[in-house]
Amino acid sequence: MHWSKTVSMVEAHAEGEVGRVVTNGVLDVPGETMVDKLHYMNSDGDALRRFLVFEPRGYAQMSTVLLVPPTLPQAQAGMLVLQGDKAHAMSGSNAICTATVLLETGIVEMQEPQTTVILDTPAGPVSALAQCSAGKCVNVAIEMPPCYVDTLDAKIDVPGFGQVTISIAFGGIFYALVDPAELGLSIEPESARMLVEAGSEIQRAANHQLQISHPEHRALDGLSYVMFISETADGTLKGATIMPPGRVDRSPCGTGNSARLALMHARGEVRPGDTFHALSIIDSHFDVKLLRTTEVYGRPAVIPSIRGRGWIHGMHQIGLDPTDPYPTGYRVADCWGDAFDLLNS
């Protein structure tokens, strides 16, 4: 065996959403700030993302976290979230996976009963407070960056569905928040394919019809995901985030529920200190809390907390044989859905 590139990862998931963490084989990527590094990964560094994410070394239903040296002195690690479409600025479930991996493998020293890990992300620094016992992260609470509403109750025309009402909110990345009942859908495992098809069409339409721009960083522009949101009779939050190239987030979604809290606050439905139980499409759960309000870029904003559990379930090493005809992988629509249309839209 002869490899020209070797990468080691720790396999983990947070409430069902796979987030494998690169721990060896990539020293750093260019950029003075994490936003610079995000821009690099979505331009000159895209071959590295595809090597890590695409088949045969990766698969559609997962994320890969690239650990890099932090650019802020208070942080222990920098974090870039690699998905099937591009690198993203932030992910709550992946932050839980990252904190769990850093502490349970000893990369960052674990202190019991709790350890705080500061993660440097393109959306800003986030604090991960891990409750620790007998060498295990029992749970991890992520204090998210400031989240705000960008557009409230916009009407867009969606092919195959007609006019749909959406709200755009920033939860570390931009989300379109949609009531699935408007489309005659519900958040259930057997509805996943229909939710994916509808969410993919909504994302395309929203990015074409709305101007979705970050006030400071162009690298964060554009709608990342669509999140379908509903509530159970007892007030439990239910959500399904639709992620390019065509899949449902298995976790309740940290950045999505952060965007949702910003929307709820804008509608007067939540106040600081309120806590909610949030369920995913597979009924895994996060505890979602509005910590406090603030202002960012001249807009009212909220600081949410997302608490969930992460589990390490394997160690993984991949490499590149110089004769391999697929050095940056491939994707096929049977697993990757409408990857080509959505990623090129």
Which positions are catalytic? 91, 253
Half-sphere exposure of 45 (CA within 13 A, CB side): 20
Please report, as a single letter, which amino acid is at residue 227: M
Q: Which residues pair with 140 in a beta bridge?
A: 130, 308
Alpha-carbon distance of 230 to 296, in angstroms, equals 27
Q: How far is CA 221 from CA 39, 63, 166, in A?
A: 11, 20, 17
Distance from C-alpha of 319 to C-alpha of 254, rounded to nearest angstrom: 31
Q: Are strands 114-121 and 162-170 parallel, antiparallel or unpaired?
A: unpaired
17-24 and 63-68 as β-strands: parallel, antiparallel, unpaired?
parallel
Instruction: List all residues 6 or more positions away from 284 whose beta carbon is below 8 Å from its beta carbon.
Output: 15, 16, 250, 251, 252, 308
Token output for 215? 């006030």
Neighbours of 313 (CB within 10 A): 11
DSSP annotation of 180 reads: G
